[in-house]
Structures are given as structure tokens and as C-alpha cells.
């Protein structure tokens, strides 16, 4: 909530939390434009609800384990869209941090890429991705049948299948606390791999196993 850019619509979609979430919402209710707490079909169902409710021109997503890296993140995002009105989206850099010490564990530094780089296993850091709302209306929202690969599938669909124009913003945008839903256990990792494969096949990516291998190898340089 401490962002310097003023023209922001904050929507909070909660899946019926029983922790301190509701208390935190109440403490910040003056800054929140829309809030709902109800049972849903998972993370991406909640995200889809938020997208459908949003009225702004650009949509960004900040999950429960994500933190803005500094107060000017949204100001930088807005300036980029204003300066380059023809772009469809943008993405930036992300740090994985320890949940309690906030020490940086892994750095996801991106660069300007093309849809061809997706064939080499590249993808932008999803929490740094900002897209025009019109894209969701035109190309669809997050698929609910691919588990944790829903964000990867949407990126493939937008960047590879529909070849949207997105630019790299060389700014650290998000600090993500370690422990996401796709990084918890061996079975979770296997499930994530299978769903990533399905996402590639759905978007007719050639040599999907090779793409996934390169995707895994590319992460080694982030440590």
C-alpha cells in the first residue's frame, strides 16, 4: 500500500482465510477498492475473479508471498506504459528471499526477450508481469485445469501464441518469500513438471521436453 503512484485500484481476493488476513484487510480498508472472502477453486480462480472485477487499463498481480521491492514500482510501471503506449505489457526483475530473515536467496534478473526465446525455456517472472486489461478480454484468463502451471500457460499463450509486445523494465520489482505452492515437495515438483509440459503442448510448442530441460537449467544461474 506504500506505493508512491496514486492512481491504483487495489482488489483483494481471499479464499476464506482463517489466519490474520481479515484483520490486516480491516486495518487497511480505506486503501482497498474491492475485497471479497469466499471459497474458490484455488489461486488462479481467485486471480480470475480479480481480473474480471478490475476496471483499470493495466493489471498486475501480487500474491500472498510477494512484496513490492520499493515504493516506486508502480510509478515505474505507469511511466513505461505512458511513454510507450503501443506495448501490451512489461516485466522486470525479482528476488527470492528467506521468509523470516528476508535475505536474498535467488535473483531472477531478466532481459529484453522475444517470443522465440520461449523455445529456449525462457519466461518472465510472473509476479513482475503487468498486462493491459484488454488482453484478458481478447485472449482469455488463467486456465484452471493446469495447477501451478496456469501462469506459465498464460505467458506462453500471450507471448508465444499471440505474440504480444512486451518490454523489459530493468528494475527490481518484487521480493518473493520462498515457499510457493509449486516448490513444496517432490510430488509437487513432479506435478508442476507435468503441468508445464501440458502448457507447452497446449500452445503447440515444439520439443516440449527440451524446452523444459532448458527452463530448469536456466534457473541455476539465479543462485
Residues 163-176: tens digit of each pLDDT: 999 999 999 999 99
Residue 180 clears pLDDT 70, i.e. is over it: no
**For range 118-145, the mean pLDDT:** 97
Distance CA 132, CA 184 (A): 32
Residue 114 clears pLDDT 90, i.e. is over it: no
| Residue 179 confidence (pLDDT) | 64
| Residue 184 confidence (pLDDT) | 63
Contacts 24+ apart (CB under 8 A), 24-31: 28/1, 31/1
Residues 25-53: tens digit of each pLDDT: 888 888 899 999 898 999 999 999 999 99
| Residue 10 confidence (pLDDT) | 96
Q: Which domains does the chain show, CATH number per domain?
A: 58-222 (3.90.550.10)
Distance CA 50, CA 56 (A): 11
Amino acid at each position: 500500500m506504500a506505493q508512491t503512484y496514486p492512481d491504483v485500484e487495489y482488489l483483494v481476493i481471499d479464499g476464506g482465510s482463517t489466519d490474520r488476513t481479515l484483520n490486516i484487510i480491516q486495518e487497511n480498508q480505506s486503501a482497498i477498492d474491492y475485497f471479497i472472502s469466499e471459497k474458490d477453486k484455488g489461486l488462479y480462480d481467485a486471480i480470475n475473479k480479480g481480473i474480471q472485477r478490475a476496471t483499470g487499463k493495466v493489471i498486475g498481480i501480487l500474491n500472498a508471498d510477494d512484496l513490492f521491492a520499493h515504493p516506486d514500482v508502480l510509478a515505474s510501471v505507469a511511466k513505461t506504459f505512458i511513454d510507450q503506449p503501443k506495448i501490451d505489457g512489461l516485466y522486470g526483475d525479482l528476488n527470492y528471499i528467506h521468509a523470516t530473515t528476508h535475505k536474498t536467496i535467488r535473483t531472477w534478473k531478466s532481459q529484453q526477450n522475444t517470443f522465440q526465446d520461449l523455445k529456449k525455456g525462457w519466461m518472465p517472472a510472473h509476479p513482475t508481469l503487468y498486462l493491459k486489461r484488454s488482453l484478458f478480454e481478447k485472449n482469455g484468463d488463467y486456465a484452471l485445469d493446469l495447477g501451478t502451471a496456469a501462469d506459465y500457460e498464460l505467458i506462453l499463450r500471450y507471448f508465444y501464441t499471440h505474440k504480444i509486445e512486451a518490454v523489459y523494465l530493468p528494475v527490481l520489482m518484487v521480493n518473493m518469500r520462498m515457499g510457493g505452492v509449486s516448490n513444496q515437495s517432490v510430488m509437487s515438483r513432479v506435478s508442476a513438471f507435468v503441468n508445464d509440459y501440458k502448457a507447452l503442448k497446449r500452445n503447440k510448442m515444439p520439443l516440449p521436453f527440451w524446452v523444459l530441460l532448458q527452463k530448469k537449467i536456466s534457473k541455476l544461474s539465479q543462485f
